[in-house]
Amino acid sequence: MTQPGDGGRGAPDAILRALADPHRRHMVKLVRSNELAVGQIATHFTITQQAVSQHLHVLERAGVLTERRDGTKRLYLFRPESLDAIRNVLADLWPEALERLKHVVEQAKSKKQRQTKS
């Protein structure tokens, strides 16, 4: 079973690493609603088809894309549910971030009020 942070399929760390590359993010956008073959995806980039295939493999291994074979073609499609793991991580972090922001704003407001009273 995949544990958070172990780099396995669907693990938040693996997904974030896979999406950190701008080429990969663009590839995900290309296949978010339509299945495309490697060659079709490669036409959108100045890198080699082999490099595109390697990027797609990283995304598939992280669980962001599915790969389906149709004869000799490899077709890729985005798995929107793959982002659930990232949403969960952000949901855990978000309340703390909002609390820190609230504290900073309240401190700034208090400092400004003290300055105007002086």
Q: What is the pLDDT of residue 3?
A: 42
pLDDT, tens only, 26-77:
999 999 999 999 999 999 999 999 999 999 999 999 999 999 999 999 999 9
Lowest average pLDDT, out of 27-36, 90-99, 101-110, goes to 90-99
Contacts by residues 75-84 (CB-CB < 8 Å, ≥ 24 positions apart)? 75/35, 75/36, 75/37, 76/27, 76/31, 76/35, 76/36, 76/37, 76/38, 76/41, 77/31, 77/34, 77/35, 77/36, 78/28, 78/31, 78/32, 78/33, 80/32, 82/10, 82/15, 83/15
Tell me if 64 sits within 8 A of 77, measured CB to CB. no
Give, in words, the CATH class of 12-117: mainly alpha
Q: So where are the chain's domains?
A: 12-117
